[in-house]
Amino acid sequence: MLINYIKAFNDNYIWTIEKDGKTLVVDPGDAGPVIDYLKDKNLDYILLTHKHMDHVGGVKELKNKYGAKVYGPLETKEYNDIFLSDGDEFELLGENFKVILTAGHTEEHISYLMGDKLFCGDALFLAGCGRVFTKDYKKAYEGLNKLKNLDDDTYVYPAHEYSLANLKFAKSVISNDDLDREFERVKKLREEEKITLPSTIGKEKKINPFFLARDLDEFTQFRNKKDNF
């Protein structure tokens, strides 16, 4: 199995999973880079985490071109062949996928757990989390806590390269050696224009202020501070 990424827009990553001659992509906001990446390959499946256009903008073109089957939450209903909700499980490419509701960024945002690999859209980033556009901080906090309870060695594949900005904010509200080391690692990679992902759940427990928040109130305070940082 090969997991790779396709760059899109300024900072999006469209994750690909390839196995046994079949290809799956997660959140293709732009069709062009996906078509360029595939070349003479087919696209068999598309997984969607939420409705924002930088995650779904390429779906119709890709579906028309390749006949890919689309899986997503109710809020991406105009694209879906298969509708998913919290707790659902399904099999693709011989792998088991579990659906985790991680709402808050949008009303029905979902994340996908494939073995020890988490594809979490805009719910969780390296040292950060998505803006709570719904203003439902409780749901956002609950969703992150579900992810926090996954095994420490779970790999985290977010949809954006926000790592350096998130770490700068994290250093303004928490302080520890792990955070300092991660900041230096990420800073060097970004200077070389290299990807900083994936992260792991274990790492996020040490450096992510939204995982380290003691309760809902502190989580909300951190999120409001980040929005104005």
Q: pLDDT for 29-74, tens place per residue?
A: 999 999 999 998 999 999 999 999 999 999 999 999 999 999 999 9
The pLDDT, as a whole number, for residue 2 is: 97
Tally of structural domains, the chain: 1
Alpha-carbon Rg of the chain, whole angstroms?
Answer: 17
pLDDT average, residue stretch 88-99 = 98
* Mean pLDDT, residues 187-210: 98
CATH assignment of the domain containing 117: 3.60.15.10
Per-residue pLDDT, 213: 97
Query: What pLDDT does 6 receive?
Result: 98
Q: Are 44 and 177 in contact (CB under 8 A)?
A: no
Three-state DSSP class for residue 94: coil
Give Cβ neighbours of residue 92 (< 8 Å, ≥ 6 apart). 24, 45
Domain that holds residue 206: 2-227
* pLDDT (0 to 100) of residue 131: 98
Task: Specify the pLDDT at position 150.
Answer: 98
The pLDDT > 70 percentage for the chain reads: 100
pLDDT band at 159 (very low <50, low <70, confident <90, very high): very high
